[in-house]
Structure 1
Amino acid sequence: MDPAEIEIPKKRKILDRHSKEILFNLHKYFNGLKNQDMSSIYQTSAAKLTSDATGVPFSSVKKVIFESKRTLEEGKPFTSSKQLLVSRKNKFNINDFDRAAIRQIIIDYYYEYYNEDKDFPIMTSLHEAVKEKLNYPGSCTTLRREVARMGFHWKMTEGNSGILVEKHKIRFQRINFLTKISEYRSQGRPIVFASEVYIDTSISSNPSTRGNGLIIVHAGGSDGFVPNALAMFETNDQVEARPHYLNTEDFIKWIENDLMPNLKPKSVVVIDNIFYQNILENPAPGPHACKQEMLDWLDFRNIIHSSSMLKPQLYQLILEHKKIFKEFKIDCILRKNNHSVLRLPPYHPELNPFKKRG
């Protein structure tokens, strides 16, 4: 049956801003037809007329017409573009363990190619390997985007073939981490790994308990767990923006009250690169901060400047020096007690014994 022949019963509808705009465009379009030659209009496709009348792009009109065939046959309402976007995003989630496993599959694939004379790795073959080993539900295109987010990019070789290469930043951070932890070990300093785990406690069918969770945080090293450092925090995804993570305030309290009093002298605390662990101490003023705030920041760090300089000039000085003076709150707290902080490189949870699978 032709969708154009199906009558859709009129119902009272609440019109959003976009719908009102389309109605106004229709009114203006049909009002303008009164003085036009109708013969040219009859030769134009209905989809093109709809696009001209509503102001909606022609490609979007064609998509809606295509969707209408399925929608009207199944008796279902149209889905909004926002609903489609959300449904696509929520098909599956990739966590740090999955990313680490994907990274290892990529490394293994290239090792086998260079040492065991296997086929040259291409995206489709990597996708098949990830699907087989991790039960990965995404498409090859989705995996390509995820691999790029993990710090890989394709580099063309002499044979005009693409090879996956880690970005400089990721390689440098990993090398820097391994170098520093090796130095700390050679100095005989105690190394303590801190980590947290989220547990979903909403096993009840009672709606009032849905979204409840528990975050357990602890620390330990080669000598076992740090005494009295275990802590638990309740969370709720209906209230908190990021319920699977600690907030900065709770993490700092745990550092000060539970972890630090029980650390051995001159310990090295290894933490993840999570947002709540990277809050800055005395962050640099922004371009719209007041002039006195900029002057105070420069004065405190003994950076040469003049009070007669304009704000853009002061801010340029701040931009040139803020990386040198960047400090994290967690680092400052532990350093005051003669401890050091070392952060894991991104997408390397396997370097933390707490998060190592198997």
Structure 2
Amino acid sequence: MYVRKESMNVVCHRIRALRTLQRHREEDRMVVYVDETWFTTRMSHNMEWVDSSQPNTSATYSRQVPPGDGERFVVVAAGTADDFVQGSFLCFAANNTTGDYHGEMNGELFLRWLTTQLLAILEQPAVSVMDNAPYHSILTEESRCPTTATRKSHLIEWLEHRQISFPQHATRPELLNICRQYRPEPQYKVDDIIREWGHEIDRLPPAHPELNAIEQVWGHMKRHVRSSLQRFTRADLQARMEEARHSVTDEVWAGAVRRSRAFEDEYRSTDNVHESVDPVIITLDSDSDDEVDLILSSDED
């Protein structure tokens, strides 16, 4: 029997994310699911029967997958319950074929896509649902805390800038320990930019792709590409990816969002998440002349 073990931090993060998402829905904000994925020219099932006597145009031909990892393409996009956000779909060739797409993304590229291909297009207040990939989570300068690589003089500057007292002859390890005691709450550049444009952000807890509906859309597209690749070339992959993108209908998006919200409901149930608790009035019977009413309004989760 599989039992999911989670830290308390992850559970609390999930509860906050669910409450945040529900609040923004009540404010009538559009929910926009943001994510990245990858495709390669070698995408196929690992093993296939091959009839090499047939031409590759034959209906009975089975694909012969060339060796190696092939070329890799990274895709970034955003979508709603209806469709991809128009103009948000970005696809580019990766510089290497090893590792995953995270190595090809960086904060500068993501911020450029965010401001020019997503936020500039959204016409109504929205909440962006995304994970905590490194390029989503670049800290602002004010929320950065010194590290073990920080010089002693910079530790002193950091403390003095925040008017934090420290012993006059404190050593570098002592200064670093004081800095960590006053570590600021993390503030992310992405969050600030999204709010500057009049929108909000909801960061999902680690390892919760089921709460991001676009993940299921990626799965739909990858199944199409895997089943249709024949020549395993860049041109073939690009053509199949374009087909896959157009195969994502409004029904596909609606189904993906429906399944994602089913997971939300399941987590709300298991985590005992309630948006509000009505006061409970309990009258205590007593032999005394006065009747005592207790009003309980605590949240049990």
Task: Quickly name the TM-score band, shorter chain normalised.
Answer: 0.5 to 0.7
Query: Is contact 1:215-1:244 (8 Å) kept?
Result: no
Q: Which residue of 1 aligns with 2:200?
A: 340
Match of 1:179 among 16, 19, 23: 19
Kindly indicate whether residue 175 of structure 2 is the aligned counterpart of residue 314 of structure 1: yes
Provide closer, same or farther for how the CA distance between residues 308 and 338 of structure 1 changes in structure 2, counting only shifts above 3 A.
farther
Residue 347 of structure 1 aligns to which amino acid in structure 2?
A
Provide closer, same or farther for how the CA distance between residues 210 and 288 of structure 1 changes in structure 2, counting only shifts above 3 A.
closer
Q: Secondary structure at the match of 2:15?
A: helix
Q: Which residue of 2 aligns with 1:305?
A: 165
Q: Secondary structure at the match of 1:280?
A: coil
Q: Secondary structure at the match of 2:38?
A: strand
Alignment of 1:79-90 (within 5 A): none
Q: Which residue of 2 aligns with 1:331?
A: 191
Alignment of 1:1-358 (within 5 A): 122=1, 126=2, 152=5, 166-202=6-42, 210-222=69-81, 224-238=83-97, 242-243=100-101, 246-248=104-106, 249-282=108-141, 283-300=144-161, 302-305=162-165, 308=168, 310=170, 311-322=172-183, 324-356=184-216
Query: Is contact 1:246-1:276 (8 Å) kept?
Result: no
CA drift of 1:206 comes to 7.2
What is the root-mean-square deviation of aligned Cα atoms in Å? 3.0
Q: Secondary structure at the match of 1:262?
A: coil
Q: Secondary structure at the match of 1:224?
A: coil
Residue 137 of structure 2 aligns to which amino acid in structure 1?
N
Which of 1 and 2 has higher RCO (CA within 8 Å, sep 6+)?
Answer: 2
Residue 297 of structure 1 aligns to which amino acid in structure 2?
W
Q: Distance in 1 between matches of 2:152 and 2:167?
A: 9
Query: Is contact 1:190-1:264 (8 Å) kept?
Result: no
Pick which of 247-256 and 332-341 moved more: 332-341
Residue 254 of structure 1 aligns to which amino acid in structure 2?
W
Provide closer, same or farther for how the CA distance between residues 317 and 338 of structure 1 changes in structure 2, counting only shifts above 3 A.
farther
Q: Secondary structure at the match of 2:29?
A: coil
Query: Is contact 1:213-1:235 (8 Å) kept?
Result: yes
Q: Secondary structure at the match of 1:195?
A: strand
Query: Is contact 1:236-1:243 (8 Å) kept?
Result: no
Provide closer, same or farther for how the CA distance between residues 266 and 296 of structure 1 changes in structure 2, counting only shifts above 3 A.
farther
Query: Is contact 1:212-1:235 (8 Å) kept?
Result: yes
CA drift of 1:326 comes to 1.6
For residues 80-130 of structure 1, the C-alpha deviation after alignment (integer angstroms, 9 at most, x for no partner) is xxxxxxxxxxxxxxxxxxxxxxxxxxxxxxxxxxxxxxxxxx4xxx5xxxx
Pick which of 183-192 and 283-292 moved more: 283-292
Provide closer, same or farther for how the CA distance between residues 341 and 298 of structure 1 changes in structure 2, counting only shifts above 3 A.
farther
Percent identity among equivalent residues? 28
Unaligned runs of 5+ residues in structure 1 are 1-121, 127-146, 153-165
CA drift of 1:278 comes to 2.1
Q: Distance in 1 between matches of 2:178 and 2:9?
A: 25
CA drift of 1:303 comes to 4.3
Q: Distance in 1 between matches of 2:122 and 2:167?
A: 45
Q: Distance in 2 between matches of 1:347 and 1:264?
A: 31
Query: Is contact 2:37-2:101 (8 Å) kept?
Result: no
Q: Secondary structure at the match of 1:285?
A: coil
Residue 8 of structure 2 aligns to which amino acid in structure 1?
H
Q: Distance in 2 between matches of 1:326 and 1:244?
A: 21
Unaligned runs of 5+ residues in structure 2 are 44-63, 220-255, 257-301
Query: Is contact 1:211-1:237 (8 Å) kept?
Result: no
Compare the two structures and name the one with the higher helix fraction: 1
Query: Is contact 1:294-1:315 (8 Å) kept?
Result: yes
Query: Is contact 1:215-1:245 (8 Å) kept?
Result: no
Provide closer, same or farther for how the CA distance between residues 307 and 167 of structure 1 changes in structure 2, counting only shifts above 3 A.
closer
Q: Distance in 2 between matches of 1:303 and 1:267?
A: 38
Q: Secondary structure at the match of 1:317?
A: helix
Query: Is contact 1:295-1:307 (8 Å) kept?
Result: no
